[in-house]
Structures are given as structure tokens and as C-alpha cells.
Amino acid sequence: MSRVAWQLATVKSIRSETPHVKTFVLSLPSWTLHLAGQHYDLRLTAEGGYQAERSYSIASPPEQTGEIELTVEIIADGEVSGYLNEGVQVGDQLEVRGPIGGYFVWRGEAGAPPLLLVGGGSGVVPLMAMLRHRQHLGLRTPAVLLFSVRTPEEVIYRAELETMAAADNSFTLLLDYTRQAPPGWAGYHRRIDAAMLAEVVAHFGEVKPQAFVCGPTGLVESVANGLQAAGLAPEMILTERFGPTGG
């Protein structure tokens, strides 16, 4: 029986991923096997009882037992992310419940279609759980990650993604810098558009991929439309969006 009860996790470690993104590794007293793409709810309680809740995608793969990694974008003035950034240290406790969500998930079944992952900013987090899961399974299901960021310093998980791509020729990492690219950059350097998506879909040849798209609403809207224009059926495009608010 599913029990999505609140539990007190302990912060095991904290990693800075980029200047505005941190990963919190949480040990859970009651860990449940999750699916790549699912999220946890996190709740903060102030003296006097005021509570604030947010949902955060799980970055760690299901093979990482007993703990979860939540990668959090620190939003200016963010009520919850601001506290996580400034107020939380290793050893502190945080209330969470999950895993939650049964739709934007990748199970890593053998014989599943190739994977097209499109992420904008911290929208890469649930996609990373899928890639890490795929790596643990040793699957060679072709996979492409098109990862759109504004500047080179905003590439979350850069070292791990580059190592993964170097070690596995069935995985292709496509970075897209919308504002500022590194010197000598020959890759994508514009907002994701229909032409770019058609090129990326063409990577897969005859076999149409299953697409997972996560990021800000504007990006997800245009990518979902562009993927349909590139020939993907709507049911092969799964989306997860976050608005400009969050927190």
C-alpha cells in the first residue's frame, strides 16, 4: 500500500552544481523505490506553524538506495529555495514526502524506444535521473540530451554529462547556449527552434524516439510544438513545466 507520508530526512551532503543550483543529498528513514522522473514534496515549517511546500524532481537514480538527491534552483527571493540555500546545513532535518508522479517517468524497459530528452535550465533534473538510471542498467538504448542554458556556467551536471557522453557512444550530449557560448563554440547558440528539433530528431533515423521535455513554460510549449512538426506523435511527447514563479 502506498503511503505518501511526511518523513524527516537528514541532509547528508550538499553540492554546488552552478552558482544558482545546489544538490541536497537526503537520507530517508523510510526510503521507497522511485521511478526516474518522479518528484518529492518538501515542506518547511516556521515557528508558529506557517508552512510552505514545493515539489522538487529527484535527480538520483532508483539504484541509489536509502537516499534521494534533490537538485534545487535558488530563485531570487524564493521562500523555500532561499532557505534551503542559506539556512540548511549538513546534518539538518527536512520534511519530505514521496515519491510522487506516475506520468513523466522513464522505466528503462528493454525494447523501449530511444530517448530524446530536452531540458531547459533546472528542467534537466528529472532527465538526469533517467540518464543515471539508464547508465546503471547498462542500457544502450540510443539517447540524446538537448540541454538549453543561457551561459556556460549554468550547465548543471556538466562534468558527469561529459564523462557519460565520452564513455557511451549511444548517448549524445547537445548543449545549447542561448546567450553566451564558450569561445570557439561550434554547437547550438540560439533558442531552441523547429529547425534545431528537426535536426535532433533526425539523429534517430527511422525509429521515432520517446521525448521528455522539462523546463520553463515557454520552452516546453515551443519544443512540444516543434517536436510534433518534426513528426513525433503527441503521445510520444511527455512534458513537465514550471512557471516563472516557483520559489
Query: Does 29 participate in binding other proteins (rule CB under 8 A)?
Result: no
96 or 175: CB nearest other proteins: 96
Residue listed under C-alpha cell 535521473: 129
99 or 123: CB nearest other proteins: 99
Collapsing DSSP to helix, strand or coil, 224 comes out as helix
Q: Which stretch binds other proteins (CB under 8 A): 14-22, 141-149, 192-200, 230-238?
A: 230-238
Q: How far is the CB of 241 from other proteins (least distance, A)?
A: 5
State which of residues 24, 56, 104, 171 lies at the interface with other proteins (CB under 8 A). Answer: 104
Collapsing DSSP to helix, strand or coil, 1 comes out as coil
- Chain positions 147 to 206 lying near other proteins, rule: CB under 8 A, are none
**Contact of 153 with 120, CB cutoff 8 Å:** no
What gap in Å lies between CA 225 and CA 211, rounded to an integer?
12
Query: Does 242 participate in binding other proteins (rule CB under 8 A)?
Result: yes
What gap in Å lies between CA 150 and CA 180, rounded to an integer?
6
Query: Does 4 participate in binding other proteins (rule CB under 8 A)?
Result: yes
Q: Which stretch binds other proteins (CB under 8 A): 97-105, 109-117, 121-129, 194-202?
A: 97-105
Collapsing DSSP to helix, strand or coil, 22 comes out as strand
**Contact of 170 with 142, CB cutoff 8 Å:** yes
172 or 210: CB nearest other proteins: 210
What gap in Å lies between CA 200 and CA 196, rounded to an integer?
6
Angle (nearest 5°) at CA 100 between 22 and 10? 45
State which of residues 10, 27, 55, 172 lies at the interface with other proteins (CB under 8 A). Answer: 55
Query: Does 52 participate in binding other proteins (rule CB under 8 A)?
Result: yes
Q: Which stretch binds other proteins (CB under 8 A): 6-14, 148-156, 166-174, 175-183?
A: 6-14
State which of residues 21, 26, 94, 173 lies at the interface with other proteins (CB under 8 A). Answer: 94
**Contact of 44 with 24, CB cutoff 8 Å:** no
Q: Which residues contact 17 (CB under 8 A, 6 or more apart)?
A: 23, 71, 156, 157
**Contact of 68 with 94, CB cutoff 8 Å:** no
Q: How far is the CB of 184 from other proteins (least distance, A)?
A: 36
Binding footprint of other proteins on the chain (CB under 8 A): 1-8, 38, 41, 43-47, 50-55, 77-79, 82-83, 87-88, 92-95, 98-104, 217, 220-221, 224-225, 227-228, 234-235, 237-239, 241-245, 247
